[in-house]
């Protein structure tokens, strides 16, 4: 077995982290009662972010309106999100995972891939090691994870999604026909609702049906790239590496999960401007500039896409960053409703160099003065003391999420 990958996924992360905190304080365990992390049930736009297993038994699903969830379960306990708590617990469980290998990829706030290839002399029994990691996280941090063990990332990810919670599962090549192929085709990692609907309409009901279908037919059905991608995944083929986090790549970012879908370019741009305002101000505070701007967005099928642009010169100007972000969205967004939007500034320059020009860019100079004036006012009276008029309705959410998600060192 030349390659070995673990996928470690926190069980109902946001709810588990809140539950662990409450249990430590002598309060009831949210995991044992019908409960959710979500918005105010009285608000039309509030949604379920995470749910307990007892809540799931009432038919409550992630992403559904809180009002609907309460109708299904009148006694439902709802707790507001606490992103600072989530970041704290995320760092804690990832620190434990990192102790077992130098190669770790943070896939999300509550998921990691770790590459255990070549570690057999240190950890000769991979299954025993997976249980050790799982049990350490449970015993030391108070919440549970699932661990998927496989020869590549897609199989490790699929394995970790088998029976939950607090379990270790394997999905090696010889196990694919019995463990993965009988599953509904929509359960295949990265197979969204749109692709699943097309496959079902073509009488491709299981992952096995997809794996054994003629690839030319699948490409015709889903498109060249997506068809090949899903056909490979259905056969357990994935050569993508576990990508380690590089220290120098750290930057400044904000991500916002919205309660009301972002379904227009105007709504998206307002959110991007608010995020640009926040992260650029923080970057200026650290006397840094960025050479790369990227946007990330997630649709209703939980498919996440990113698009980035390298800049010809480093910048810390909010309006310049916002202009780039707008162009990136126009180039990559296909009009589908979004549930998450994010902005990241990377390739950070902390030396303060700037390319000089014999021609003064008056607009850029005005933008710099505006940024400096806003930074000065916020420094004296607080972050919420002044806002751009077009972002008043989104700025508060962005600031809260930004403080939790900031990833600069």
Q: Measure CA of the first residue to CA of the last residue in the chain; give whole Å.
A: 37
**Can 111 be counted among the known catalytic residues?**
yes
Annotated catalytic residue, options 111, 255, 319, 405: 111
Q: Which residues pair with 254 in a beta bridge?
A: 343
Per-position b or e across 117-128, b if 16+ CB within 10 A of its CB: bebeeebeebee
Beta strands 145-150 and 168-171: pairing type?
Answer: parallel
Percent helix, strand, coil in the chain (nearest 5)? 45, 20, 35
The owner of tokens 């309460």 is 70
DSSP letter at 33?
S
Cα distance between residue 309 and residue 17, in whole Å: 35
Instruction: Give backbone dihedrals phi and psi of 378, rounded to 5 degrees, phi first.
Output: -65, -35
Q: Which residues pair with 115 in a beta bridge?
A: 5
Cα distance between residue 379 and residue 197, in whole Å: 52
Cα distance between residue 330 and residue 73, in whole Å: 41
Q: By C-alpha distance, which of 263, 256, 254, 276 is closest to 390? A: 276
Cα dihedral 305/143/128/123 (nearest 10): 60
Peptide bond into 165 cis (omega under 30): yes
Tokens of residue 349, six digits: 């320059």
DSSP letter at 43?
S
Cβ atoms of 291 and 267 closer than 8 Å: no
Cα distance between residue 49 and residue 45, in whole Å: 12
Per-position b or e across 85-97, b if 16+ CB within 10 A of its CB: ebbebbeebbebb
Q: Which residues pair with 114 in a beta bridge?
A: 6, 104
> Catalytic residues, which ones?
111
């Amino acid at each position: 077995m030349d390659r070995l990958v673990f996928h470690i996924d926190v069980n109902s992360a946001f709810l588990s982290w809140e539950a662990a905190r409450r249990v430590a304080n002598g309060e009831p365990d949210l995991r044992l009662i019908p409960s959710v992390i979500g918005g105010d049930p009285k608000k039309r736009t509030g949604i379920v972010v995470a749910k307990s297993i007892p809540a799931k038994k009432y038919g409550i699903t992630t992403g559904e309106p809180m009002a609907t969830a309460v109708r299904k379960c009148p006694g439902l306990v709802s707790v507001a999100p606490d992103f600072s708590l989530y970041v704290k617990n995320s760092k804690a469980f990832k620190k434990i995972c990192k102790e077992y290998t130098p190669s770790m990829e943070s896939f999300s706030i509550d998921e990691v891939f770790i590459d255990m290839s070549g570690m057999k002399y240190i950890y000769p029994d991979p299954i025993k090691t997976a249980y050790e990691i799982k049990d350490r996280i449970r015993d030391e941090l108070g919440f549970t994870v699932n661990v998927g063990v496989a020869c590549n990332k897609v199989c490790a990810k699929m394995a970790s999604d088998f029976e939950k919670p607090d379990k270790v599962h394997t999905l090696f090549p010889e196990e694919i026909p019995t463990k993965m192929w009988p599953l509904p085709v929509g359960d295949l990692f990265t197979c969204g609702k749109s692709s699943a609907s097309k496959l079902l309409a073509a009488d491709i009901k299981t992952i096995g049906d997809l794996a054994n279908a003629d690839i030319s037919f699948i490409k015709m059905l889903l498109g060249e790239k997506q068809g090949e991608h899903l056909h490979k995944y259905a056969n357990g083929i994935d050569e993508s590496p576990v990508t380690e986090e590089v220290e120098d790549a750290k930057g400044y970012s904000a991500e916002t999960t919205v309660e009301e879908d972002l379904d227009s370019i105007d709504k998206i741009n307002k959110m991007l401007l608010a995020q640009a305002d926040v992260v650029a101000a923080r970057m200026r505070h650290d006397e840094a500039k960025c050479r790369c701007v990227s946007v990330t967005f997630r649709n209703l099928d939980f498919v996440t896409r990113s698009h980035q642009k390298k800049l010809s010169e480093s910048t810390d100007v909010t309006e310049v960053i916002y202009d780039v972000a707008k162009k990136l969205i126009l180039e990559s967004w296909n009009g589908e409703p979004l549930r998450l939007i994010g902005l990241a500034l990377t390739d950070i320059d902390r030396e303060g160099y700037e390319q000089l020009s014999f021609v003064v860019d008056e607009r850029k100079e005005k933008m710099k003065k505006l940024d400096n004036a806003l930074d000065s006012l916020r420094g004296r009276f607080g972050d919420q003391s002044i806002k751009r008029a077009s972002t008043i309705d989104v700025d508060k959410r962005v600031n809260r999420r930004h403080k939790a998600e900031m990833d600069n060192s």
